[in-house]
Amino acid sequence: MVIGLTGPNASGKGEAALYIKSKGFAYHSLSDILRGEAEAQGIEPLRENLIKLGNDLRRKNGPSVLACRAIKELSGAGSHIVDSIRNPAEIEALRRVKGFTLIGIDAPVETRFKRGLERKRPGDAQTLGEFIEKEAEENKTSFENQQLKKCIEMADEIIVNDSTIERFHEKINAVLERNKKT
């Protein structure tokens, strides 16, 4: 089984990935691939810099470049989780992997903004208006840009993370159970 995760900023993708990883899934992150590329190029790994770098890589090497790099790591036995899918071409590339299921993680914008404030990552928005504005910028329709709204629309399953962590885990368990390949 190969589970992919997509969703907007601060929706709970990281928590979902950690929880699924705790169930024995091998973890892969398109953002980690970007962070490695940023380090190799001497770029500070701030959110804005990573977005720009990802867009540049997709423009130069095709919109599925990050997924294609991750796919090389999925050949091992067992179950895998691929986190941080942000472009429709990445989904299309990953759909060629046997047993792939895309899960969209979402939450109300106000909830996601509050989570963003709590995690205190450099470059995160400080007002709800700024948060919404940054999100709109990240969803510009262009083959090389992030397109999180389109990615959520392409999901096989959507989990709304708007309650307790325990309820979120229950929803993840239900999705994993439905998507088990025998």
134-178 pLDDT per residue, tens: 887 777 666 666 788 899 999 999 999 999 999 999 999 999 999
How much is the CA Rg of the chain, to the nearest whole Å? 16
Check if the beta carbon of residue 119 is closer than 8 Å to that of residue 48: no
> Higher-confidence residue: 17 or 137?
17
Instruction: Give the span between the Cα atoms of 91 and 87, in whole angstroms.
Output: 7
Instruction: Give the span between the Cα atoms of 125 and 130, in whole angstroms.
Output: 6
Instruction: Give the span between the Cα atoms of 2 and 97, in whole angstroms.
Output: 8
Q: Which of 97, 84, 101 is nearest to 30 (CA)?
A: 84
Average pLDDT of the chain to the nearest whole number = 90
Instruction: Give the span between the Cα atoms of 44 and 100, in whole angstroms.
Output: 32
Condensed to tens digits (0 to 9), the pLDDT of residues 60-81 reads 999 999 999 999 988 777 899 9
Residue 178, classed as helix, strand or coil, is helix
Check if the beta carbon of residue 112 is closer than 8 Å to that of residue 10: yes
Q: What pLDDT sits at residue 143?
A: 60
pLDDT of residue 182 exceeding 50, the answer is: no
- Beta carbons within 10 angstroms of residue 69's beta carbon: 18
Domains for the chain: give ranges and CATH numbers: 2-178 (3.40.50.300)
Query: Residue 119: which pLDDT band, with cuts at 50, 70 and 90?
Result: confident
Distance spanning both ends of the chain, measured CA to CA? 9
Q: What pLDDT sits at residue 83?
A: 95
User: pLDDT over 90 for what percent of the chain?
Assistant: 66
Dihedral-angle region of residue 47 (phi above 0 means left; psi in -120 to 50 means alpha; beta otherwise): alpha
Distance set, CA 27 to CA 2, 20, 47 (Å): 10, 9, 21
Tokens of 143: 């083959």
Q: What pLDDT sits at residue 149?
A: 87
